[in-house]
Chain A
Amino acid sequence: MSFIYLIPLLPLLGFAINGLGFPRISKSLAGIIGTIPPLVAFILSMQLFLNFDGTTQILTLSEWIKVGDLSIPLAFQIDALSIMMLLVITGVGTLIHLYSMGYMAHDKGLGKFFAFLNLFVFFMLILVLGANFTVLFIGWEGVGLCSYLLIGFWNQKNSYGDAARKAFIMNRIGDLGFLAGIFLLIQHFGNTNYADIFSAIQAGDVPDNVGLIAFCLFVGAMGKSAQIPLFTWLPDAMAGPTPVSALIHAATMVTAGIYMVIRANVLFELSPEVLHFVGWIGLATALLGAAIGLFQNDIKKVLAYSTVSQLGYMFMGLGASAYSASFFHVMTHAFFKALLFLGAGSVIHAMSDEQDIRMMGGLKNKMPITYVTFLLGTIAIAGIPPFAGFFSKDEILAHLYHHDPWMWGLAILGSALTSFYMFRVFILTFWGEFRGTEKQAHHLHESPLSMTIPLMVLAVFSVGGGLINLPHFAGGHEFLATWLAPLLPESEGLGEVSFLSLEMGAPLMAAFLPAFLAIYIFGVKKSVPSEDAAISGIQKVVYHKFYIDELYDVLFVKPIALMSNFFAQVIDFLVIDLFVEGIGKGVQYASTEIRKAQTGNVGYYVFLMVISISIILFLGLKSWIL
């Protein structure tokens, strides 16, 4: 099984070659060097998948940190969950690399771009392969770094750099929680190996603070998977090139939080309060993301808020202990959201970097492949059967229905919003008349093959992805759930569901009705969202993302900046240094005062001398005299 090491090593090699060779390696070569490693890694992962016999394997590379009783190995764990993640990462990753060859062809930093992408794949693979929480943390922070580098890829523009920093820092806030979780685990179990921890718990060794541990780990997930309150970085992260948004901020990195919770499901199962919390945070994020998405006019921003919202769904599923359903949604979401982003990228590419949907319209004839694939993606995310999104979202909803009807109801509402804003974007972009400039109209063209092939492949998966976990009522065998079953708690059976029940009907209504509404408003009535200045009332609040960024600015950024200046200029300079310098000044002052005793007058000295001698004599002879 030694080829397993190759899976992460190949992208690292690609990173090394492209990174060291930049800018000497020509652009076309750099693209090929960058794309081959994930492709080979995908083939190897496929090999692993086909030969997998259900047993968990742990491969220890070496001891990493060994101090006292603490020992953390660099080890990989191959099991059902990591293999599935490998397939998604390398599979979607390869397609996006291929796409980038076309998308970034005109960028002079192409070699650097591929180096960063490969590095990202490397860290992401480390994240899912790690056999303990600490190795997971390597990948966890590593993908954060790559996300930072890629969001700020066009670093001449300061606002992009700001977005990149925001992403890294918000992730770091979550990472602190994650790190605390790791420390707590080490405190109780002595190490962070999955195998040791989970078997200890199964043997009945449950730490008293398991709820706290689960909570700390979840804080990490909040940062990485953009949940309330740490979600504001993800929309800003759209500053990065579109393939990055597709790979990192839709398909893989942001789902790391879900992966981690599934991985640690044993811990979460022991703390129902935390699971409850996870569910509600997920729900709140899903609704907030969907609500903001309703009024955004930047095609990528809509997709970004949609991602936030879909991630919320996944956490809702986790909150209801529907681990395999959430994972199913992770996979289908990876397909259709990557597809949508790449489609958006294709549009942006054709529109000469225009991202505002108010300037688009009528693109369906100019870019037929993008049009069809984007439509398929839209249908998939809206949850219309029998596309992939329907099955995965429906499974989560079905679990929620049994778990907590309130959550279920609100989730249906979110689902309806999703369907509406996705069709809104789709129609405004592809239907109707072209609203852009003359120059843009002239430039419009279908993207090259390297970009459309990934679109087509992903479209196939978005349509048929549901087959991976086709439920029994649709004639399937729930392959994914069975595959993951050994790693998950025994799920409560959902029983048989019929299409006519409320449980089944409501999600369908939520998918179809808003879609028709959107078609009516934007397709038939051809209304176009108004200019920024004309927006008012509640809509304005929503359009400005509920002013959450501004709120954080007032709550955290400004006070810290003020504190910084206060500390540096007042406390350091005036308080502490005044004291320190005060000692020096005091000595100086005393010396100038005492110096005055030295008059230089001989008579005065003699006088002092006589007096002093008399005193000394008196003291010395006192006992003798008296």
Chain B
Amino acid sequence: MQSIPEIIRTIPLTHYVILSSALFCIGILGVLTRRNAIIVFMAIELMLNAVNLLLAAFSSYYSDPSGQIFVFFIMAVAAAEVAVGLAIIVMIYRNIQSIDIGILNKLKN
């Protein structure tokens, strides 16, 4: 039975880098282009997970567990963030019946 790091190492590192870069860029594009707050939110999650993937890959390749520990931290923080973020979005929806970020410009004045 192969250990999980060994399984990870079966795929070359470059692939992980390319994959996570692609995911990250998709996330960025999602944040920049979408106006629905929930989708923007999901795009941010996507970017976080792209980083997670990279961390896990590097961690395996260099046999250094601290990378994976970071992944856990990020997941914990992301979970908290989602909780707060979704709550905010719900509140916004209740107030203005919309979650379009284009009309959220109250900060201006």
Contact between A and B in the complex (any CB pair below 8 Å):
yes
| Given the contacts A603-B101, A603-B102, A598 and B108 also touching, CB distance less than 8 Å | yes
Chain A 585-626 interface residues, beta-carbon cutoff 8 Å to B: 598-603, 606-607, 610
Quick check: B109 and A610 within 8 Å, CB to CB? no
Quick check: B109 and A601 within 8 Å, CB to CB? no
Quick check: B32 and A600 within 8 Å, CB to CB? no
Q: List, in ascending order, chain A residues with CB within 8 A of B104's CB.
A: 600-602
Verify if B35 is at the interface (C-beta below 8 Å from A): yes
* A593 CB, min distance to chain B CBs, angstroms: 15
**B34, closest chain A residue (CB):** A603
Interface string of B81-109 (1 = CB under 8 A from A): 00000000000000000000110111111
Sample of 16 more A-B contacts, CB < 8 Å, known A600-B108, A606-B40, A610-B31 = A598-B108, A599-B105, A600-B104, A601-B101, A601-B102, A601-B104, A601-B105, A602-B101, A602-B102, A602-B104, A603-B35, A603-B102, A606-B32, A607-B32, A610-B28, A610-B32
Chain B 53-105 interface residues, beta-carbon cutoff 8 Å to A: 101-102, 104-105
Our pick among A598, A599, A601, A603 for the contact of B32 (Cβ within 8 Å) is: A603
Quick check: A598 and B31 within 8 Å, CB to CB? no
Q: List, in ascending order, chain B residues with CB within 8 A of A601's CB.
A: 101-102, 104-105
Q: List, in ascending order, chain A residues with CB within 8 A of B28's CB.
A: 610
Q: List, in ascending order, chain B residues with CB within 8 A of A598's CB.
A: 107-108
In the bound complex, CA of A602 to CA of B31 (Å): 10
Q: List, in ascending order, chain A residues with CB within 8 A of B31's CB.
A: 606, 610
In the bound complex, CA of A606 to CA of B40 (Å): 10
Interface centre among A599, A601, A607, A610 (most CB of B within 10 A): A601
* B45 CB, min distance to chain A CBs, angstroms: 15
Q: List, in ascending order, chain A residues with CB within 8 A of B40's CB.
A: 606
Q: List, in ascending order, chain A residues with CB within 8 A of B107's CB.
A: 598, 600
Q: List, in ascending order, chain A residues with CB within 8 A of B106's CB.
A: 600
Q: List, in ascending order, chain A residues with CB within 8 A of B101's CB.
A: 601-603
* A606 CB, min distance to chain B CBs, angstroms: 6
In the bound complex, CA of A599 to CA of B109 (Å): 9
Interface string of B24-63 (1 = CB under 8 A from A): 0000100110010000100000000000000000000000
Which bracket fits the contact residues of B? 10 to 19
10 A-B pairs with the lowest CB-CB distances in the bound complex, closest first: A600-B108, A600-B105, A602-B101, A600-B107, A601-B105, A602-B104, A606-B31, A603-B101, A607-B32, A610-B28
**B103, closest chain A residue (CB):** A601
Quick check: A600 and B109 within 8 Å, CB to CB? yes
> Interface residues, chain A, CB within 8 Å of chain B?
598-603, 606-607, 610
At the interface, is chain B mostly helix, strand, loop or mixed?
helix
Q: List, in ascending order, chain B residues with CB within 8 A of A607's CB.
A: 32
In the bound complex, CA of A603 to CA of B105 (Å): 10
A–B Cβ pairs within 8 angstroms, 19 of them? A598-B107, A599-B105, A600-B105, A600-B108, A601-B102, A601-B105, A602-B101, A602-B104, A602-B105, A603-B32, A603-B35, A603-B101, A603-B102, A606-B31, A606-B32, A606-B40, A607-B32, A610-B31, A610-B32
In the bound complex, CA of A483 to CA of B28 (Å): 114
**A595, closest chain B residue (CB):** B108
In the bound complex, CA of A441 to CA of B108 (Å): 93
In the bound complex, CA of A599 to CA of B104 (Å): 10
Q: List, in ascending order, chain A residues with CB within 8 A of B35's CB.
A: 603
Q: List, in ascending order, chain A residues with CB within 8 A of B109's CB.
A: 600
Q: List, in ascending order, chain A residues with CB within 8 A of B102's CB.
A: 601-603
Q: List, in ascending order, chain B residues with CB within 8 A of A603's CB.
A: 32, 35, 101-102
**B104, closest chain A residue (CB):** A602
In the bound complex, CA of A607 to CA of B31 (Å): 8
**B29, closest chain A residue (CB):** A610
In the bound complex, CA of A600 to CA of B109 (Å): 8
* A194 CB, min distance to chain B CBs, angstroms: 81
Interface centre among B35, B106, B108 (most CB of A within 10 A): B108
* B108 CB, min distance to chain A CBs, angstroms: 3
In the bound complex, CA of A606 to CA of B104 (Å): 13
Q: List, in ascending order, chain A residues with CB within 8 A of B32's CB.
A: 603, 606-607, 610
In the bound complex, CA of A599 to CA of B35 (Å): 16
Interface centre among A602, A607, A610 (most CB of B within 10 A): A602
* A106 CB, min distance to chain B CBs, angstroms: 79
* B28 CB, min distance to chain A CBs, angstroms: 6
Q: List, in ascending order, chain B residues with CB within 8 A of A606's CB.
A: 31-32, 40
In the bound complex, CA of A280 to CA of B107 (Å): 86
* B41 CB, min distance to chain A CBs, angstroms: 12
In the bound complex, CA of A602 to CA of B109 (Å): 14
In the bound complex, CA of A598 to CA of B104 (Å): 13
In the bound complex, CA of A581 to CA of B105 (Å): 34
In the bound complex, CA of A623 to CA of B63 (Å): 28
* B107 CB, min distance to chain A CBs, angstroms: 4
Q: List, in ascending order, chain A residues with CB within 8 A of B105's CB.
A: 599-602
In the bound complex, CA of A472 to CA of B28 (Å): 124
* A86 CB, min distance to chain B CBs, angstroms: 86
* B91 CB, min distance to chain A CBs, angstroms: 15
**A605, closest chain B residue (CB):** B107
**B44, closest chain A residue (CB):** A606
* B62 CB, min distance to chain A CBs, angstroms: 19
* B21 CB, min distance to chain A CBs, angstroms: 13
In the bound complex, CA of A600 to CA of B107 (Å): 5
In the bound complex, CA of A603 to CA of B28 (Å): 12
In the bound complex, CA of A600 to CA of B32 (Å): 15
* A13 CB, min distance to chain B CBs, angstroms: 78
Q: List, in ascending order, chain B residues with CB within 8 A of A600's CB.
A: 104-109
Q: List, in ascending order, chain B residues with CB within 8 A of A599's CB.
A: 105, 108
**A602, closest chain B residue (CB):** B101
**B35, closest chain A residue (CB):** A603
In the bound complex, CA of A391 to CA of B71 (Å): 125
* B6 CB, min distance to chain A CBs, angstroms: 31
Q: List, in ascending order, chain A residues with CB within 8 A of B108's CB.
A: 598-600
Chain B 1-33 interface residues, beta-carbon cutoff 8 Å to A: 28, 31-32
